[in-house]
Each structure stands twice: as C-alpha cells, then as structure tokens.
Amino acid sequence: MLKTRKEMLIIGLMLLLVIALIGVSYAAFRFTGVGQRENTITTGSITMSYTESSNTISLNGALPTTDETGKKRLNPGEYFDFTVSSKISGDVNINYEITAKDVTDSGARKIDGSNIKLYLTRLTSDGTEEQVMSPETYNEETNANNFTGRPAGEMSLYTSSMSSSESNTYRLRMYVDEDYNPQGDGGGL
C-alpha cells in the first residue's frame, strides 16, 4: 500500500509538472504573440511649391466670346501661368487640387459666375498646351474635399497627384461666356 501511495504521488507530481510546463509555455507564447510595439512610418522628405508668374487675368471691359476664341487668348490680362512642383525622396504620394475662388469685392460691379468660363491647360516641355479641363462656367463646390484639402466654396478645376520629384506648369484662361447679354437685347451688342 505504501508503494502504491508513492507511485500515486509520483504520477500526481509528474502530471502537475506537465500541466505547469504547458501553462508556462502557453503564457510565454501568448505574451510574445499579443505584445505591443511602436509602429514607425518613414516617408523621406517632401517639398511642394506653387509659383505664379507676374501675369494676371482681368475681365475689365471684356466682351462675351465663344469657347473657341477664349481657349486661344494670349494677350496680357487674358491668361494666368503658374507652376506646381515637388521634391520627393522616399516612397510617398502628394495629392493636390487646383481650384478657383471668386474674391471680387462685394462693392465692385460683378458679373455672375454662371457667365464666366474657365479653361485650364498644362504646358509641356516643348511649349505646347494639353487640355486638363474643358471650358466650364464658374461653379463653387458645396462640399469640401478631404482627400486634397480643398475647402467648400471653391471651384475644382483639376485634381492630380505626384509620386516623384516633378514640375507641372499650368495656364488658366478666364473669359465671359458668349451667352452673356446684360442689355437683354438678344445679342445685338
């Protein structure tokens, strides 16, 4: 009887040792599997710049014109050139949006935006123009664009992104729509 009691005690201790070993292994596995660590995101360096030339658009004394004529205007005051450029190192992407905002004085004589057309092109390295936005009448967006950061109350002209160092020069033209007739005389200006 003493011998069976010793055997039972040894078996019990062995069983307890096996259970303890499994329990400690599970706890160690569980600790390393669920542990927390700091996540680090490295983007490199990003520089984005906007440069405008000294030219301006002026609609003072402008007469209504067709899209065909408005798209070709190159006299001083009829177009506006600007450059969007980036210097990027690393694997990143910059989203941007070109917008227009009516900032006319409330006291100034103002033409309703639905009578103003905007036309946007990109200038290529050889000086030719590529259309990026067909002629559209001025129309402010009611919602903001969180993707690019554009606030509500501006007209979206063009949305794009840059993933490498590059430079894009754009040309904006603005003109009075051919259907604008403030005299109400059916177009007999």
Predicted model pTM: 0.69
Q: Which residues of the chain have pLDDT under 70?
A: 1-3, 16-18, 20-48, 105-109, 184-189
User: For the segment 117-151, what is each residue's pLDDT rounded down to a tens digit?
Assistant: 999 999 999 989 999 999 999 999 999 888 888 88
How far apart CA 79 and CA 83 sit, in angstroms, is 14
What's residue 32's pLDDT? Answer: 45
Give the bridge partners for 65, in sequence order. 177
Number of alpha carbons in the 13 Å side-chain half-sphere of residue 48: 12
| Residues β-bridged to residue 128 | none
d(CA 63, CA 175): 8
